[in-house]
Amino acid sequence: MTDIETNLKEILTELPPKVRLVAVSKFHPNEAIEKAYAAGQRIFGESKVQEMTQKYEALPKDIEWHFIGHLQTNKIKYIAPYVSLIHGVDSYKLLSEIDKQAAKCNRIISCLLQIHIAQEETKFGFSFDECTEMLEQGKWKELKNISLQGLMGMASNSDDMQQVRNEFHLLHSYFWNIKNNFFPCMPTFKDLSIGMSHDYHIAMEEGATIIRVGSKIFGDRVYGYPSD
Ligand SMILES: *Cc1c(COP(=O)(O)O)cnc(C)c1O
């Protein structure tokens, strides 16, 4: 049996004050989230729109729901009323669609830009150049219902921890480059979301302000959960 409370506390004791933990509960049932909630955790991360929305409806309303998956534009409307932070924004088009749906809900939705730092081609995200270009282009400044709060990245799925460290390190330098160039007087641009179960220690050493940890808290994921 996975002892969710023990796992959670173990991670929380390692967390410096400036780092927030997203408990990644995707593919785990409500009962697992309730255990973490009872132990004090309030931020949960999900990667499917339908699954997150069902959980939002069933669970306590003071939970902050972070969407960490790949978001399709036609599904934004389902999460727009309640999502706290969207981690994986990887195109201007997606950002502007989030803005539209946020406006309909009379909300300002916080977003992170996802940067592709891994070697695998399958992972989503802007390249450094694409992201800089999008920000230079400047149209994002007209979007009044989104708030850009930082960057998100996933390292290579590798046992080579030096490789993982280098990728996080590069993203951290890029974060400061972007912050200084485009958000110099905006304290809201502050977050670097890096680090998962197997690499969050390295991520914290390399400047993470948000870590996204799933299996280390909840155990192995049970696939077969209704997906969308
Ligand atoms: C699933 C997932 C995580 C959590 O992964 P674990 O290895 O279980 O900690 C973190 N970030 C993203 C984007 C994910 O999809």
CA of 139 to the centre of ligand 1 (A): 31
**Cβ(35)–Cβ(228) below 8 Å:** no
Is residue 227, in this structure, part of any structural domain at all? no
Looking at the structure of the chain, the number of domains it has is: 1
Is residue 60, in this structure, part of any structural domain at all? yes
CATH number of the domain within which 73 lies: 3.20.20.10
Is residue 224, in this structure, part of any structural domain at all? no
Is residue 29, in this structure, part of any structural domain at all? yes
* pLDDT score for 228: 47
Which of 43, 39, 1 lies closest to 25, judged by CA? 43
Mean pLDDT of 41-51: 98
* pLDDT score for 2: 78
d(CA 66, CA 157): 22
* 157 C-beta closer than 6 A to ligand 1: no
Q: What is the pLDDT of residues 178-199, one digit of tens each?
A: 999 999 999 999 999 999 999 9
Percentage, residues of the chain above pLDDT 90 = 93
Is residue 76, in this structure, part of any structural domain at all? yes
pLDDT higher than 80, residue 35: yes
* 28 C-beta closer than 6 A to ligand 1: no
**Probe residue for ligand 1, chosen from 151, 212, 223 as the CB with the greatest number of ligand atoms within 8 Å:** 212
* pLDDT score for 225: 56
* 197 C-beta closer than 6 A to ligand 1: yes
Hey, what's the torsion of the CAs at 92, 182, 190, 101, to 10 degrees? Answer: -30
Average pLDDT over the chain reads 95
Tell me which residue range forms the domain holding 101: 3-218
The residue whose CA is least distant from atom 7 of ligand 1 is 197
CA of 126 to the centre of ligand 1 (A): 19
pLDDT higher than 50, residue 165: yes
**How confident is residue 78, by pLDDT bands cut at 50, 70 and 90?**
very high
Structure tokens at 124: 């989503």
Structure tokens at 100: 């539209």
* pLDDT score for 224: 62
Which of 115, 85, 94 lies closest to 194, judged by CA? 115
* 91 C-beta closer than 6 A to ligand 1: no
Percentage, residues of the chain above pLDDT 70 = 97
Is residue 228, in this structure, part of any structural domain at all? no
pLDDT higher than 50, residue 137: yes
CA of 9 to the centre of ligand 1 (A): 18
> Which SS3 state, helix, strand or coil, does residue 222 take?
coil
Q: Which atom of ligand 1 is nearest to the CA of 197?
A: 9
d(CA 31, CA 68): 21
Which of 122, 151, 117 lies closest to 134, judged by CA? 151
Q: What is the pLDDT of residues 92-135, one digit of tens each?
A: 999 999 999 999 999 999 999 999 999 987 778 999 999 999 99
* 217 C-beta closer than 6 A to ligand 1: no
pLDDT higher than 50, residue 155: yes
**How confident is residue 1, by pLDDT bands cut at 50, 70 and 90?**
low
CA of 88 to the centre of ligand 1 (A): 12
Alpha-carbon Rg for the chain, nearest whole angstrom, is 17
* pLDDT score for 221: 82
* pLDDT score for 124: 87
Is residue 61, in this structure, part of any structural domain at all? yes
Is residue 193, in this structure, part of any structural domain at all? yes
Structure tokens at 186: 């905006």
* pLDDT score for 121: 79
